[in-house]
Homo-oligomer: A and B are copies of this chain.
Amino acid sequence: MRASAAAPKSLGMKPLQDLYPDDFAHCYGCGRLNADGLHVKSEWHNGEAVARFHPAPQHIALPGFVYGGLIASLIDCHAMATAAAASMEKAGATPGVDPTPRFVTASLQVDYLRPTPLGPELELRARATEVGERKVIVGVMLRANDSDCARGRVVAVRMPAGMAQRDVSRSTDARSIE
């Protein structure tokens, strides 16, 4: 009997970013409501978040290699989702099913271990290494062609209440936000 080629799917599980509240789903890196954004999607499996991303040709640093700022962006958004999921699990909620709380980045450290080739799909894997009430620390590895290319260490904090007081229509161009 031949197994299906597709990876087993967790029935009913969504990418974590698809469960951000609408008001906070405009992020250029991972917001489903940002028409011009990167749309990073992180899935949660057994305490680990996994995302895959295919850089566009313009996401170039030097010929043949991925732009480091894109790598930092992918690590950032993937880490925020990881922090949220780890925090949810600790509180008894189900990541990928229940609404995802919004975390923001306090600090981002990226070590570029080797030049990341532009062409293959990138894979990001992340785990929370410390889950506090307000602060979560996340470790991320970005790989291409089965090689470790960049390592991230990200400090995430729960979105401060003061960041939720603005109306999107006051600060963004409605044409660029679906």
Interface flag for A59 (CB, 8 Å): yes
> Nearest CB to that of A173 among chain B residues?
B57
Interchain nearest-CB distance for A81 vs B (Å): 13
CB-CB under 8 A from A23, the residues of chain B are 63
Chain B minimum-CB-distance residue to A68: B105
Complex alpha-carbon distance, A8 and B137, angstroms: 46
The contact string, 1 if C-beta is below 8 Å from chain B, for chain A 37-79, is 1000000000000000000111111111101111011101100
Q: Mark A100-129, 1 if CB is under 8 A from B, else 0.
A: 001011111111100101110000000000
Residues of B within 8 Å of A31, CB to CB, are 60
The copy count of this chain in the complex is 2
Chain B residues in 8 Å Cβ range of A171: 57, 60, 63-65, 117-119
Residues of the B chain whose Cβ atoms lie less than 8 Å from the Cβ of A177: 57-58, 60
Contact between chains at A176 and B57 (CB < 8 Å): yes
A104 touching B61, Cβ below 8 Å? yes
Q: Is the CB of B176 within 8 A of A26?
A: no
Find residues 6-38 in chain A having any chain B CB closer than 8 Å to their own CB: 23-24, 26-29, 31, 34-37
13 contacts between A and B (CB under 8 A): A26-B62, A28-B70, A34-B58, A36-B58, A57-B173, A57-B176, A62-B104, A65-B163, A68-B104, A69-B70, A72-B72, A107-B112, A108-B112
